[in-house]
Amino acid sequence: MKNIYLNFINKTDDYANKIDVVFYQRNFAIEFGEIAVAWKVIQNSERLDQESFKYSTRYSVAIADSFRNYTPQIPASNGATYDVIEGGYGIMPQISSIPADNPEEIEIRNSLKTGEISVNCYRDGSLLATRTNINPGEKAFFEFKPQLFVGVASGIKQGDILYANSITQINSQINLFGVTSADIVLKGGGTGSASVPFSVALENINRL
């Protein structure tokens, strides 16, 4: 899949207030205990504001030891497995000769003798998902489909963990499968008795 070029347009009915728009992705490799992360946040958006951004196909991962010391990000790809081992200057991930069981997933194995690890996964350098408390011999799994969840929620910054009360507001799903570029148009909102729920839709779609 190639990069997707997106343009957010605020066409809400709120003429007076600024809003924060949050985007996140679901890690489909995890059925329970998923930790959602705000991948992108458009802050202080006013009516008719626009912001363009890229949905990149580039992934990277960084590993943290039990003392929260993170390794640099390294490129990662679907279908690959990475072993976290002891290096000369601390822990380090290295690609394994054994591929992932699922070609759509990225696997990170804790191959240390002792000590938990945490794994951050990034899309084009921005934090996308995280897995914590991975014990020796266990793996972290990441799988993302070309979908975004979008919503209006205040007080959230890019890279923040999203808790249940926030996720209930960030629940509009956008399917990007086969899309090369599109406008993400936010409508609704407003004040008083005439206000309606926010809604999100793709417009001006270009496909493969």
> For the chain, what is the mean pLDDT?
94
Of 111, 100, 106, 108, the C-alpha closest to 136 is: 111
Record the tokens describing residue 173, joined without a space.
């799903």
The verdict on pTM exceeding 0.85 is yes
Structural domains of the chain, ranges and CATH numbers in brackets: 4-56+145-207 (2.60.40), 59-142 (no CATH)
pLDDT at 1: 64
**Residue-wise pLDDT tens digits, 13-70:** 988 889 999 999 999 998 777 789 999 999 999 999 999 999 998 899 999 998 889 9
pLDDT at 157: 97
pLDDT at 50: 98
Mean pLDDT of 138-146: 96
**Residue-wise pLDDT tens digits, 171-192:** 999 999 999 999 999 999 888 8
Q: What 3-state class would DSSP assign to 193? A: helix
Q: What 3-state class would DSSP assign to 164? A: helix
Lookup result for tokens 């912001």: 51
Residue 25 and residue 30: Cα distance in Å, rounded? 12
pLDDT at 207: 95
pLDDT at 195: 86
pLDDT at 136 over 70: yes
Residue 185 and residue 7: Cα distance in Å, rounded? 8
Lookup result for tokens 């759509």: 104
Lookup result for tokens 């081992």: 85
Mean pLDDT of 126-154: 96
How many residues in total does the chain contain? Answer: 208
Mean pLDDT of 2-23: 94
Record the tokens describing residue 124, joined without a space.
């084009």
Rounded-to-10 torsion of CA 8, 11, 14, 19: 0
